[in-house]
A and B are shown apart, each in its own frame.
Chain A
Amino acid sequence: DIVMTQGALPNPVPSGESASITCQSSKSLLHSNGKTYLNWYLQRPGQSPQLLIYWMSTRASGVSDRFSGSGSGTDFTLKISSVEAEDVGVYYCQQFLEYPRTFGGGTKLELK
């Protein structure tokens, strides 16, 4: 199985500052079709996870352009520019290249 490993944030993050969340996969998620099979989710307190980014860097419908995804085949970053109160929660990366689909352990973002 592909193991997804997420980094921690130096919480709390001051409002208006940027934050970067890292994720590493144990196998390259870059497919021969040129697409990278990585999703990012945000789970706000008391809610279901919400898809933010797919194909490593494509924002889902309705997602603020303050969120951006980047990376290589095995190392990924979700950047949040100008953190706001609504960004508080736990962020998860997920690979969908292979079965079983696997998630990172989550990265908590707290606001100062």
Chain B
Amino acid sequence: EVQLVETGGGLVQPGNSLKLSCATSGFTFSTAWMNWIRQTPGKRLEWLAQIEDKSNNYFISYLESVKGRFTISRDDSKSSVYLQMNNLKEEDTAIYYCTWFAYWGQGTLVTVSS
């Protein structure tokens, strides 16, 4: 059974950082292209970043508006993908999902507020 479990969300002040983790199981992680997608309080879905697999040199793509603040990474030995988020803004408040193909985790809530 495919599972994706996000952790690391919480309440953070504007300007601070947070690192999200996504632990996976049930599929061959090392060849999977992994994504982070967020859902705003208004229910809008926003794709953030993708990291490809080793055969594609771990090529990374970002949404322009988070490039330079967010960093996606992966650890194939742990079947995990990460999202480092720096200089957080109130508009980054959302549920953050990691996804692989048809599969989504349950999401982790990030609230940016003073």
Contacts and interface: CB of A to CB of B under 8 A. Distances in A.
A60 B45 contact: no
B64 A100 contact: yes
A26 to B, nearest CB: 16
Interface string B61-73: 1111000000000
B104 A48 contact: yes
A103 B102 contact: no
Interface residues of A, number: 17
A90 B43 contact: yes
Given A48-B105, A61-B102, A106 B43 contact: yes
Contacts of B50: 99, 101
Contact of A103 (B44, B62, B105): B44
Interface residues of B, number: 18
A54 interface: yes
Contacts of A111: none
A105 B63 contact: no
Contacts of B27: none
A48 B2 CA distance: 14
A92 interface: yes
Nearest to B6: A48
Contacts of B106: 48
B81 to A, nearest CB: 16
Contacts of A99: 50, 61
25 contacts: A48-B104, A48-B106, A48-B107, A49-B45, A49-B97, A50-B104, A51-B101, A51-B102, A54-B102, A60-B102, A61-B102, A90-B43, A92-B45, A94-B47, A100-B47, A100-B62, A100-B64, A101-B35, A101-B47, A103-B44, A103-B45, A103-B46, A103-B47, A105-B44, A106-B44
